[in-house]
Structure 1
């Protein structure tokens, strides 16, 4: 490394440092740490189906490098060059991102059914404009084991968080520098920033800690909840000149940091708790490694850090960004094509190998030539001077000459990919297909074809595969179901709203999807349907409730409010689900449901416990009916064997016999044939996603549901 000038990486860019020192010397070992972290991210995604903590290490390093760059701008020139910094950051980040996004769009159009294009177009735009984390938070997406149902762009939430941080910290430091100049105290920039960023970091950490308990789905992607991890790195960059310690302490920090980074993914299930207090584990490991080599010349740093500064580790760190971009979409497309939830040993090695090749090509054919800016860089390369912190570019003259055509090609690729996504987004958003609000029961007998043998004339299936996502039950469209983070009761009335008799429908969306049928029955037979519903939350008295593997901590409190309200209002009947699917074949009535029945019995309430409908899954992988049909399947092949979806005997029947207030209701014969549970019946699509009934199919269930409820309610 040259002693007169050195390249300084922010994780996104470089800038000259006027006076090198032990404190300002570029940390090659942290490049190596970046390489180790990305390897762990890839390995844990591919073979363990969980997060490794590597992304959290990335966030700390990004905050450290980027804040350090801005500080050097202030201390060398008295101000932050905002537009210059933004332009250089985008030049570093966008080319590789646009190439990957365009490749994903092309792969999706080629390999994925048309029913998935709209969501992928939305996520492509969200990723390109750095709001993917908010898109996922609003969609309440989880970040659990990778499987074919997961978006190939889901991993780009972290790029969005970093991009938002880069912009915010650039503007903030520019404002601080300007203010201190006006006050005549430019030398106080570091103390001022320590106080300001420290306060923001504490506020962010407290916010993340609260968010873990309130709504972890949102918390995981929330930029402010993540900010403290980046701010910790920024605070280290600010305080670096003052941080010294004995050699033995540095050695201990280096060993502890490397070990914790390596095993963090096994120590904690990060998707369920990061960026709350548990994220202190990977963040603390990154801090330890930064401190272990701080204010030391490279040759005096602990042995582990010198190993991290070796060429293989540094080269891997140089490819970290591209490898992160490529590995996830390639993994998801591989799993989707293979129809598996995990890649396996051989498949995983193949994913890693292809991802490394793509990352190497992207770095050297896209990123490097577009970062080389001037004839001075060309002259330096020709003179044998390093233009990169890790090695001399032997291809630099060639790459520089190709810079303009490569830039033009990347721009065209990006415009095509982003343009195609924007076009599909606009087309589906403004003029997307809308499901019918009613269907002729003669042409569309729906559930009656299964339950009563009604004839099925030839007619186009409705809703269509593109209409299905919008064919939702009334509470969802009316805002009458509590979302993930709401503990307040949201109540609405359907059926005959003036009736004296009341059927209270309570629980999760699997109680909700019977509302269109109950709406018809209520109007026909004169009873009110009152809903008390919450997403993913069946009525429960347990403290441990989850949906798709993610805990819903406020479900217990919400359920307690519902049970108390039912005791106060005393509806004539309570309608809720009485079973749930098992992870493998069949379904069950868990003890928690029996505890709820006891609570309702204590309040003198009668319960209609309906058996849950089958959930579409294959080898543990969820899939949507519309996707399967769009991919060439038919109603039967896209369905499930009945003996796999459900037990031969309704599992709620026996325990319900011990509760005189509980009446089990099994509508399986109205959604399943004798040997298969199809995805459409009587010309109506049964599911609008993996496991919820379409509103149109629910309406077609009204006659069969009415026949089944008549001997229970005795209202008609």
Structure 2
């Protein structure tokens, strides 16, 4: 799995709203809109191309959300205004028949591919996301795991793209219930003519509230904001508003042409004009693709096809309509095919030849899915639609759904619920010398590695388990006390989780040589005063303010020593002490604080691709082959030594020789697994570092 995969988060479900087989009705009284089928096809083509070759957001997701709100809301309003009995149940049946079969096929294929291609340590993650996709809460699953620093990187999940399906599914349910309630109330007063105005008022108010909420989230918590249904709602509601106003929209002819040209250009150029859209959508920047989609819709409203502006007629070309027909299954297929391809190649880029193959296979499977799964289940027009074929497809889809749920839920119950992994706990230092095997030559007897690959994720330091480290969503400075709370001497452990993972070693030292450990920690946020703090390509707006407050707090609390990291890895290999760290050292020195800066431990990566030690071992690797060459992981000399010499109160230490062998940084030493993920020490290995850490700190602290 990739840390820096360029295929990020431009994922929408292109034709996931029900529509008549003969075309796309607008509710505006001018028949169906085949140009919107073409718009759908164009948008999915842009999404696929940008995913495969450019690694940027194309704006397609926003176009899809507008179209979904437009189509679905218009259909539900027409049904509600018709007065048909049980119209809501008919909408539910039709929507499920449109959405579920293709998804069932793709999810089943992903499960099979995961079993064959992925290490068994990743199966639980895939199972979780399969169930989240089936139950339409995948967006919340990804939002939660984005804010969980220890989770598998959701940007390369083979099912990440289904987050938008969840957003749309949630909108469909909310819209259906809301309109049904409004229709029932209006029906009680025999005023069905008031359904549309009442719904329109709700749509306007909710769209404005959602837009303000999204704009605020973009500035404060973009990782969560991107997947948040409430932040995305305004885009769907804009489409819903156009559907409500459809009977009344009749722009001037010249304005229609301008709208059509702007709309088509906006859809095509969005991905090129907004280069950092992943960090700005669905905030105000998303107005470009949203307004472009609205412009295309409105430009041909109330017109016969022969009178459409030229861009609309181009979108209605048979090729574009065909692409629109297969857009939904094409969207479903392309992402998992791309991710499995990149995973197998161990690369972040598909390349020209590989990308062409990914797109060709995606188009082929999309056409097969459309022809043999979707068409037999639709009513009317073209394709094989005999009762027997519908029965066969329905039975096959039902079998796939049952099998997929059984396998994924069964794995979760058997592995995660019934026999959940637990941390290894205290290990016998004779049988499990860990870091002392490197640092002091302690013999390593033949023993099974602990923690096991299943136990590895549970091997977290106490603040993570206790909630004493601020996560992505927490601006507040959290602090907890470890070690001896009554001791006269205090060491402040400060920074990100790479400072945190030294706590188990420090706790052992605090028990032997009484001192208090006060933690000031935030995920992904080493102390920094830089305005543009980032982690994994995502801005962390709170990091600078949090760091500034922590530095001020340290000036007031006056610990005897501050312990923090003094280096970080470089994308091109090795490690460095960035200039922003020197600014922090200066700020601490100006407050009269003594600082210990420890060299950061290696981050497992091949090129720019991070990988988990447990996954590599589960995939057949060993402790050496799953490790890194030391020269790739670290610079020859601790890069913190030279800059620290300019600060009399800053003391760098380096425990690299207790983590890495002379030529390789392995993933296990002294029978103990070093990493519980891509770059954090297991609590067990951290405890084994107490001896080397104590020997490095003794001449600095002078406490023992």
Quick check: TM above 0.5?
yes
- Residue 51 (structure 2) aligns with: 45
User: Following TM superposition, by how much is the alpha carbon of 1:189 offset from its aligned partner in structure 2, in angstroms?
Assistant: 2.0
Alignment of 1:139 with 2:127, yes or no, is no
Corresponding residue of 1:380 = none
Aligned counterparts of 2:315 and 2:682: Cα–Cα separation in 1: 55
Distance 1:127 1:47 in 2: 26
Residue 679 (structure 1) shift: 0.6
Displacement of 1:651: 0.8
Q: Does 1:305 align with 2:312?
A: yes
Q: Provide the rounded CA distance (Å) in 2 between the counterparts of 1:65 and 1:90.
A: 15
Task: Please give the alpha-carbon distance, in whole angstroms, between the structure 2 residues aligned to 1:12 and 1:550.
Answer: 35
CA separation of 1:142/1:496 partners in 2, compared to 1, >3 Å: closer, same or farther?
A: closer
Matches within 5 A, 1:194-343: 194-268=200-274, 269-343=276-350
For residues 436-480 of structure 1, what are the alpha-carbon distances to aligned partners after superposition, in whole Å with 9 as ceiling and x for unaligned?
Answer: 111000010111111111110000001111111111111001111
Runs of 4+ in 1 over 4 A off after TM superposition: 19-22, 146-149
Distance change >3 Å, CA 602–CA 354, structure 1 → 2: same
2: CA distance, partners of 1:584 / 1:99: 40
Query: Taking structure 2 as the reference length, what is the TM-score of the superposition?
Result: 0.95
1:419 and 2:406 aligned? yes
The correspondence for 1:161, drawn from 163, 167, 170, is 167
TM score, norm. by length of structure 1: 0.93
Superposition pairs of residues 169-188 of structure 1, within 5 angstroms: 169-188=175-194
Separation in 2, partners of 1:342, 1:546: 22
Q: Do the aligned partners of 1:102 and 1:418 also contact (CA within 8 Å) in 2?
A: no
Q: Aligned pair in 2 of structure 1 residues 404, 470: CA closer, same or farther (>3 Å)?
A: same
Distance in 2 (alpha carbons) for counterparts of 1:87 and 1:478: 46
Q: Any idea what the Cα deviations from partners look like across 1:395-453, whole Å, max 9, x if unmatched?
A: 425x5431111211111112111210001111232122212111000010111111111
Pick one of 610, 616, 624 that aligns with 1:622. Answer: 610
CA drift at 1:65: 0.3
Q: Deviations over 1:551-596 (max 9, x none)?
A: 0001111111111110110000001111111111111111110001
Q: Which residue of structure 2 aligns with residue 354 of structure 1?
A: 361
Alpha-carbon contact 2:41-2:320 (below 8 Å) kept = yes
Q: For 1:405-484, list aligned pairs within 5 A.
A: 405-430=392-417, 431-484=419-472
- The answer for the alignment partner of 1:5 in structure 2 is none
Asked if the contact 1:60–1:230 (Cα under 8 Å) also holds between the matched residues in 2, the reply is: yes
Unaligned runs of 5+ in 1: 1-8, 378-386, 388-392
Question: Is 1:491 paired with 2:479?
Answer: yes
Q: Secondary structure at the match of 2:156?
A: coil
Secondary structure in structure 2 of the residue aligned to 1:458: coil
Structure 1 equivalent of residue 506 of structure 2: 518
> Residue deviations 1:496-539, cap 9 Å, x none?
12111110011111111101111111111100111110111111
- Contact preservation (8 Å) 1:79, 1:177: no
Residues in 1 aligned to 2:577 and 2:607: alpha-carbon distance in whole angstroms: 22
Is 51-60 or 74-83 further displaced after alignment? 74-83
1:631 aligned residue? 619
Residue in 2 aligned with 1:553?
541
Equivalent in 567, 581, 593 of residue 579 of structure 1: 567
Structure 2 gaps of 5+ residues are 1-14
* Aligned pair partner of 1:710 in 681, 698, 701: 698
Give the aligned partner of residue 672 of structure 2: 684
Counterparts of 1:48 and 1:521, CA distance in 2 = 50
CA 1:253 to 1:141, structure 2 compared with 1: closer, same or farther past 3 Å?
farther
Q: What is the aligned partner in structure 2 of residue 651 from structure 1?
A: 639
How far is the alpha carbon of 1:20 from its aligned partner?
9.5
1:664 matched residue in structure 2:
652
Alpha-carbon shift at residue 142 of structure 1 (Å): 10
Equivalent in the alignment of 2:42: 36
Choose the corresponding residue for 1:698, options 683, 686, 693: 686
Equivalent pairs counted in the alignment come to: 685
Corresponding residue SS for 1:634: coil
| C-alpha RMSD over aligned residues | 1.9
Secondary structure in 2 matching 1:402: helix
Deviations 1:24-49 (A, max 9, x none): 52111011000000001001111111
The SS at the match of 1:633 is coil
In 1, the alpha carbon distance for the partners of 2:193 and 2:439 equals 81
416-425 vs 183-192, which moves further: 183-192
Pairwise CA distance, 1:184: 3.7
